[in-house]
Amino acid sequence: MACNSTKTDKTAANNVKDTVKTDQAIPNTDQTAAATDQPNNTAQTNEKTDQQPKNVSNKPMITLQKTSCYGKCPVYTMEIYETGVIKLNGVKNLDKIGTYCKTITNKDVEGLRKAFTDAKFFDFKDEYTSKKTDLPTTYISFENAGKFKKIRDYSDAPEELRKLEKLIENIVNSEGWDKQP
């Protein structure tokens, strides 16, 4: 799974970090931090390894889908893969209509994974609803270590789940997206 562009988007990775500073930083893991402390002569090799982990699934690790409302709610689906590839399909009420792609570092992918595991994503209920009307529905899923869960959030989700949704939503609004054919 790769973007059509072969360049590594360093600014995209930085923008992911920048977008979450207001709510929650992408957590750092000791393994990925140690990998970045290599001597300069191996920096290029580590950068490639950082972008393309071995033995990864073709299925997305994280997905976020936003549905429409009666107003101007953004409608899109985003998929984040273990390789760092992020695919966005913007449908309406978004500045990115169509298919877009960007790549983040393995360090950022592991930070997202850590955020989901720290929030105990698999312990959330499968659905959060209310009798309110005209709200968009958010579908968020996470796959990790052979476990998969998809949650439907129409309203009244716990704060920790809302933080995860916001973390992923902020990526949509970051820079560095490449329009795909």
DSSP state of 100: E
Pick the CATH number of 19-27+60-179 from 3.30.1560.10, 3.40.190.10, 2.40.360.20, 3.30.70.580: 3.30.1560.10
Cβ pair 154, 130 in contact under 8 A? yes
What is the pTM (predicted TM-score) of this model? 0.74
User: pLDDT tens digits, residue range 28-83?
Assistant: 444 333 333 333 333 333 343 444 444 556 899 999 999 999 899 999 999 999 99
Order of strands across the sheet that contains 62-66: 127-128, 147-153, 138-144, 62-66, 75-80, 85-92, 98-103, 178-179
Burial level of 44, CB count in 10 A (0-12/13-18/19+)?
exposed
